[in-house]
Structure 1
Amino acid sequence: MKIMTCPMNGPRNISEFQWLGPAHDAAEATDENLITRLFHTPNPMGVLREWWRHTPSSTVFIAERDLITDEILRTYLKGSDADKPQTNS
């Protein structure tokens, strides 16, 4: 059984979640690149930030998932301290 950690409700079975698509930076959300973002999305290998929803509680959050191993690296709410870029110090 695959487990995902909801930032509000803790570890849950993956069947309780709905994938909502890749998370984009606000700077990418322009009319000029809307068609490209919607219809020509690249399929990169590596870590992708994605929107997910815990359906029983309707909690929407971001998950970082490694597309090569399908491992969920971390989950966090948008605007939380975890949403800030990580620095290597």
Structure 2
Amino acid sequence: MLLIHCPYCEQDLPELEFAYAGEAHIARPADPSKLTDEEWRDFLFIRTNPKGVHFERWRHVNGCARFFNAVRETVGDKFLATYRADEPRPDISSLTGDAK
């Protein structure tokens, strides 16, 4: 069973407690009414889908109900870190040991 750490509840809980909420750190348009149809489509639907480290947004739906961010390695489906939504993106090299 995959366990996910909720940074608000400070507990490792089963994946069933959580809901995936898309890619993390997406910049919202300052003035959505000025976007072209193509730009609006790209904002809503086009996301990265890397093989490797990915920054994701999750929600603890069966607990505190808060959104948080996670760093997940997609090949092995392993969570490297979770952090509160108001915290900055962690440095990947500190999590993976890579010098990138």
**TM-score tier after normalising by the smaller chain length:** 0.7 to 0.9
TM-score (norm 2): 0.70
Q: 1:33-72: CA deviations, max 9, x gaps?
A: 4421323334221111111011121121000101111100
Q: Corresponding residue for 1:36? A: 42
CA distance in 1, matches of 2:70, 2:7: 10
CA distance in 2, matches of 1:43, 1:87: 17
The one-letter amino acid of 1:57's match is C
Percent identity between the two aligned chains: 33
TM-score (norm 1): 0.77
The one-letter amino acid of 2:53's match is V
CA distance in 2, matches of 1:77, 1:67: 20
Higher share in strand: 1
State whether residues 23 and 47 of structure 2, in contact with CA within 8 Å, keep that contact through their aligned partners in structure 1: no
CA distance in 2, matches of 1:13, 1:65: 15
The one-letter amino acid of 1:63's match is A
Give ranges in structure 1 of 5+ residues lacking alignment: none
C-alpha RMSD of the superposition: 2.3
CA distance in 2, matches of 1:84, 1:51: 12
The alignment of Structure 1 onto Structure 2 pairs a total of residues equal to: 85
CA distance in 2, matches of 1:20, 1:49: 11
Tell me which structure has the larger Cα radius of gyration: 2
**2:87 maps to 1:86:** no
Give ranges in structure 2 of 5+ residues lacking alignment: 95-100
